């Protein structure tokens, strides 16, 4: 039986993206991407600057729509969703970590981690607050929960961002160069943390990275070149 749960978490078929359609600057930047990601995978998305990694991640993250092709996420055909449906799906299924942490400066680490619950439910239940504390414990920030982002190192800020991404138990975390702004030691620490959370929670990860050392430590490498998947050792 092929239920939605057995189906790949992510299934892209012939996905294309055209920017500036109809203008002189019109450009197709994704040329028919086929990609499948199973539940529980930990994959790297690599490739030179301009090859389309962020565009692909934004489409996977429901932040942008593809121009053509089919995208099925957790059994849901994304093309069938209106903007509210996309927002709900994004909130319930996905977590994000960006190169710059995007933590709110006036809030503590703990408050930043509970923000997704606040945004979704309008309040933070005691159980949710407990989960946020447990996540911050798990990322080694027990002592820093009540500090604001400016009082944390870059690596600590990114660990808060990882905890925040996991707050609503997403099926998939999309990370766009999450360690791109960190020194080697902090990079390794944040990366090791993502691997550990992957093991503990079973969430799938797709991590864009320029760092071959980190890519080598992922279970699968998907390599983009000029808007195409040039190599995928998960196939």
In 63-102 the beta strands, taken as DSSP E runs, fall at 68-73, 76-77, 94-97
Tokens 């998305």 locate to: 45
How far, in Å, CA of 33 to CA of 52, rounded? 11
Kindly determine how many residues on this chain lie close enough to bind ligand ADP according to the rule CB under 6 A.
Answer: 12
Binding range to Mg ion, per CB under 5 A, among 50-58, 66-74, 115-123, 185-193: 50-58
In the complex with Mg ion, the residue whose CB is nearer, 111 or 177, is 177
Shortest reach from residue 58's CB to ligand ADP, in Å: 8
How far, in Å, CA of 138 to CA of 122, rounded? 25
Residues near 109 by beta carbon (within 8 Å), at least 6 away in sequence: 103, 136, 141, 144, 145, 146, 147, 148, 149, 152, 160
How far, in Å, CA of 193 to CA of 23, rounded? 44
Shortest reach from residue 68's CB to ligand ADP, in Å: 16
Element housing 60 (H / E): helix 53-60
Residues in 115-134 at the binding interface with Mg ion, rule: CB under 5 A? none
The answer to whether the CB of 45 falls within 8 A of the CB of 208 is yes
The listed partner (ligand ADP, Mg ion, none) that binds 85, CB under 5 to 8 Å by sort, is: none
In the complex with ligand ADP, the residue whose CB is nearer, 50 or 212, is 50
Q: Is there binding between residue 54 and Mg ion (CB under 5 A)?
A: yes
In the complex with ligand ADP, the residue whose CB is nearer, 18 or 81, is 18
Residues in 38-57 at the binding interface with ligand ADP, rule: CB under 6 A? 47, 49-55
The listed partner (Mg ion, ligand ADP, none) that binds 50, CB under 5 to 8 Å by sort, is: ligand ADP
Residue 122: both structure tokens together: 């309008």
Q: Is there binding between residue 101 and ligand ADP (CB under 6 A)?
A: no
Q: Is there binding between residue 209 and ligand ADP (CB under 6 A)?
A: no
Binding positions for ligand ADP, rule: CB under 6 A? 19-20, 27, 29, 47, 49-55
């Amino acid at each position: 039986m092929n239920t939605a749960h057995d189906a790949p978490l992510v299934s892209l078929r012939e996905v294309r993206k055209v920017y500036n359609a109809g203008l002189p600057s019109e450009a197709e930047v994704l040329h028919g991407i086929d990609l499948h990601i199973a539940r529980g995978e930990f994959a790297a998305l690599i490739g030179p600057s301009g090859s389309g990694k962020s565009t692909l991640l934004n489409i996977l993250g429901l932040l942008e729509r593809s121009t053509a092709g089919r995208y099925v996420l957790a059994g849901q055909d994304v093309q069938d969703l209106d903007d509210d449906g996309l927002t709900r799906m994004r909130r319930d299924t996905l977590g994000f970590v960006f190169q710059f942490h995007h933590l709110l400066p006036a809030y503590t680490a703990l408050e930043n981690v509970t923000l997704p619950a606040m945004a979704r439910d309008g309040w933070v239940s005691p159980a949710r607050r407990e989960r946020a504390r447990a996540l911050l414990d798990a990322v080694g920030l027990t002592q820093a929960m009540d500090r604001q982002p400016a009082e944390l190192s870059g690596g600590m800020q990114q660990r808060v961002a990882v905890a925040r991404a996991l707050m609503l138990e997403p099926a998939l975390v999309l990370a766009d160069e999450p360690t791109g702004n960190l020194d080697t030691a902090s990079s390794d620490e944040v990366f090791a943390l993502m691997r550990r959370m992957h093991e503990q929670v079973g969430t799938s990860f797709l991590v864009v990275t320029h760092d071959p050392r980190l890519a080598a430590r992922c279970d699968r490498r998907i390599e983009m070149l000029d808007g195409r998947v040039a190599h995928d050792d998960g196939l």
